[in-house]
Amino acid sequence: MIRKALITDVPALVSNWHLCFGDEPSQIKPFFESEAFSLEDTLVYEENGAAVSQLFLIEGVLRKGCLVYPAFYLYAACTLEEYRGRGIMASLIEEAAAHARERGKEFIFLLPGEKKLYDYYSKFGFEPCCACEERVIEKGEVLTDDFRLSPVFCSKACRSLAIVFAQSFGYGAEKHPEYGAVLYEKDGGTLVITDIEISGKTGEFISYLLDKTDSPEAKVILPASGGNAIPHGMALALGDTPLPANIFLNFTLD
């Protein structure tokens, strides 16, 4: 049976997350204490009185110039191992799409955790939407691209939660009043930027971070500008609004 989550489900939701993804309960709990978590927008599959599969829908918007479209971000979808292979998650995803339409959303976005999941989600109408590339930016390099021109999926809830998660998982976090927000970690001498807020001053922001962390170079996923594009997210259009090109996902909580 598919239903919306109840407050009494939270211990099971934490346990399922831990068993499926390996994160420790202490790392998971901030999600359930944040504005990203909504019982109304959490779907569970119950069998024999227990929640055995779940997914979370987080409020967000797609911005394209002056246009703003309401959207959801589908996050942390999982099924306990002994219940897999029965189409339970497929039923949850279909119900999530119906729920999103009822809530007036135009799109659902997600970031598959593995490459093979792009094929899985495509069965439900999700399309690769984010043509990105991994770029290595050396200290002193001038980055002139203005990424404000790209349609951006934004979620304040994801942004605030990502910064909380950074503390739980040992990442660095920076929220700058002029540039935006970013999550990062150090890998030897390289600054690995895992999430970045598109502010239109991306180059200045990265230079600032390189100086602050005393790093000679940064590795970051940015909208593709050449021929080495990689998929970095998927979207499902829920109505008649066409999916814009060159979408960029901010703060994917990956």
- In percent, the amount of the chain with pLDDT more than 70 equals 97
Q: Check residue 109 and give its pLDDT.
A: 97
- The pLDDT tens digits for 51-69 are 999 999 999 999 988 899 9
| Fold observed for domain 2-129+231-240 | Aminopeptidase (3.40.630)
Element (H, E) at 187: strand 180-187
Q: Check residue 148 and give its pLDDT.
A: 65
- The pLDDT tens digits for 115-172 are 899 999 999 999 999 888 888 999 988 877 767 667 889 898 998 888 888 878 888 9
Q: Check residue 196 and give its pLDDT.
A: 86
Q: Helices (H), strands (E): how many in the chain?
A: 6, 15
Q: Check residue 201 and give its pLDDT.
A: 83
User: Taking 80 as the threshold, does the pLDDT of residue 13 lie above it?
Assistant: yes
Domain boundaries, the chain: 2-129+231-240, 131-229
Q: Check residue 164 and give its pLDDT.
A: 86
Q: Check residue 5 and give its pLDDT.
A: 98
Alpha helices in 8-65 (DSSP H): 10-21, 25-32
User: Taking 80 as the threshold, does the pLDDT of residue 70 lie above it?
Assistant: yes
> Which pLDDT band, with edges at 50, 70 and 90, does 89 fall under?
very high
Q: Check residue 127 and give its pLDDT.
A: 95
Average pLDDT for 205-210:
91
User: Taking 80 as the threshold, does the pLDDT of residue 199 lie above it?
Assistant: no
Q: Check residue 149 and give its pLDDT.
A: 63
b/e string for 120-159 if b means 16 or more Cβ within 10 A? ebeeeebebbbbbbebebeeeeebeeebeebbbbbbebbb
Lowest-pLDDT choice from 14-28, 79-93, 146-160: 146-160
